[in-house]
Amino acid sequence: MAQDKKFVKEIADINEDFPKWYTDVILKTELVDYGPVKGTMVIRPYGYAIWENIQKELDVRFKKTGVKNAYFPLLIPQSYLMKEAEHVEGFAPEVATVTHAGGQKLQEPLVIRPTSETIICDMYAKWMESYRDLPILINQWCNVMRWEKTTRPFLRTSEFLWQEGHTVHATEEEAEVETQTMLGVYKDFAENCLAIPVLTGRKTDKEKFAGAVATYGMEAMMLDGKSLQAGTSHYLGQNFAKAFDMKFLDKDGTLKYGYSTSWGVSTRLIGALIMAHGDQRGLVIPPVVAPIQVIIIPVCMHKDGVLENAQKLCDVLCDAGIRAEVDKRDATPGWKFNEWEMKGVPVRIEVGPRDIENGKMMAMRRDTLEKAELSLFDVDAVKALLATVQQEMLEKSRERRDSRIVWAESVEQILAGVDNKCFVKAPWCGCRECEEKIKEQTQATARVIAEDSADGKVCAVCGKKAEKIVYFARAY
């Protein structure tokens, strides 16, 4: 408690001013900095290392489903964006446009991709001739740009990094299966790598992707009770196929339009993990994506054998595939403890002269701040500890989230629920008007449609027969 107060000086109070806590933490831990152009961010090495770990974990999962990576151009002819009616309506207002290049005015302005359905579908149309060419399963890791009015690092920036998968299939059913498969990949990744439990489900039409038939999302609860859309998977039907003439010769000898999907997650996920796990001391990063999993602090660093043993420990941990480092800087252990707690390193190990004498080392978990004495150089014990931290961070988040899902049968109850930092499940008639009324009166939006049956329920707004049960929350 006394120690926590020390941190309050540097980092805004997490309970009183969560937005400022977030900004303080991401800047002080050097995850990110503001770029010179409004709304842009620089992802600094400590933040980028999280992104690299996210990429590695997701990329393996994508490839296991048969997806391959490729790269499509950044600049899209403005006319392409216009080809799908809903799509242009959704994205045109926020694009950045290149009008001059190589010292000359361009004949047609080019937009920096806000997402790549248009240019990718145009290429797919060239590549697919027969059913033998399908499915096409391609992902790209890239930067995209959406000129947003209100920005916050990781959560909403004019440029961000993401992956966008784009697939085409011969049948509606296959495309729908793909949409669900990738949603499942995202859920598995969010829970088992980021230790963030997510609600997955279909979005309402109001919240769906511009140009999709159906959008499925995964929603994560942040510490302030707000929801963060952490990933989406879209079933695009034949909307883009028709706009871009994506046809193939089917087995029966007729030309047909393909069915496409797209799905993406972005550097937003870094914001999600900060706001799902942090505390007053700073970041708490789950081991799977932590840039440094184990920080070793030599105590009485200049005494004989301390640094050597600390380095030896680091070497055996690294050899076992653990991302470990020794902090050899000329500073007190106490200062280093604070520093690495703020940076959210999952496990800290102290090695001092007495520990070495006794063949022991002291390990501290960042998530619970619990300490445990381990045998010196016991790699398996460290591995087990990291696995426990990973598992228990998910469990703790899940318990927290589950205890904050409430039921409502009126707009007042929805308001009370979100004011109380909860996700609110409520019955809904299915009409846009009622959805908008809820937003106006509570600032909550429909996050995903629940699986529950709405039988016998009435809409929380209009009192008519309910069609769906929906999760409402205020959202990032």
Residues contributing to the site for a second copy (CB under 8 A) = 33, 35-37, 40-45, 47-49, 51-52, 68-77, 80, 93-103, 109-110, 112, 119, 122-123, 126-127, 138, 142-143, 145, 147-149, 158-159, 161
Cβ partners under 8 Å of residue 430, min gap 6: 467, 468
CB of 45 to a second copy, least distance (A): 4
Q: Would you say the C-alpha torsion 456, 457, 459, 463 has a positive or negative sign?
A: positive
The residue count for the chain: 476
Shortest spacing between CB 112 and a second copy, in angstroms:
7
Please identify, using beta-carbon distances, which residue of 19 and 93 lies nearer to a second copy.
93
Smallest separation, CB 144 to a second copy (Å): 10
Question: Of 93 and 305, which has the nearer Cβ to a second copy?
Answer: 93
Provide the 8-state DSSP code for 410. S
Contact 351, 309 (CB under 8 A): yes
Rounded to an integer, what distance in angstroms lies between the CA atom of residue 195 and that of residue 75?
A: 36
CB of 97 closer than 8 Å to CB of 77: no
C-alpha 276/C-alpha 222 separation (Å) is 5
> CA 152, CA 465: separation in Å to the nearest integer?
40
CB of 260 to a second copy, least distance (A): 17
Look up residue 153 and give its amino acid.
P
Q: How many angstroms separate the CA atoms of 219 and 203, rounded?
A: 11
Between 122 and 367, CB nearer to a second copy? 122
Kindly state the smallest distance separating residue 313's Cβ from a second copy, in Å. Answer: 21
Q: What is the DSSP-derived secondary structure letter of residue 262?
A: E
Phi-psi bin for 103: left (phi > 0), alpha (psi -120 to 50), beta? left
Give the residue with the Cβ less far from a second copy, 145 or 356: 145
DSSP string, 319-365: HTT--EEE--SSS-HHHHHHHHHHTT-SEEEEE-HHHHHHTEEEEEE
Smallest distance from a second copy to CB 109, Å? 8
Query: For residues 154 and 428, which CB has a smaller minimum distance to a second copy in the complex?
Result: 154
Report the candidate in 258, 22, 299, 25 with the shortest Cα–Cα distance to residue 130. Answer: 258
Nearer to a second copy, 147 or 257 (CB): 147
From the list 198, 153, 169, 241, the residue with the least C-alpha distance to 398 is: 198
Minimum distance of a second copy from residue 463's CB (angstroms): 40
Cα separation, 38 vs 286, in Å, equals 31
Q: Quick check: 475 and 447 in contact, CB under 8 A?
A: yes
Integer Cα distance of 382 and 375 in angstroms: 10
Closest CA to 163 of 287, 24, 63: 63
- In order of 60, 61, 308, 373, the CA distances from 57 in angstroms are 6, 7, 33, 31
Q: Report the C-alpha gap between 356 and 371 in whole angstroms.
A: 17
Q: How far is the CB of 391 from a second copy (least distance, A)?
A: 28
Least spacing, CB of residue 25 vs a second copy, in Å? 18
Nearer to a second copy, 76 or 222 (CB): 76
- Closer to a second copy by CB, 122 or 279: give it: 122
State which residue, 12 or 96, has the beta carbon closest to a second copy: 96
Q: How far is the CB of 110 from a second copy (least distance, A)?
A: 6
Evaluated on CA atoms 147, 150, 156, 159, the torsion sign reads positive
Minimum CB distance to a second copy smaller for 187 or for 323: 323
Name the residue nearer to a second copy (CB basis): 121 or 415: 121
> Cβ 209 to a second copy, closest distance in Å?
20
Q: How far is the CB of 455 from a second copy (least distance, A)?
A: 45
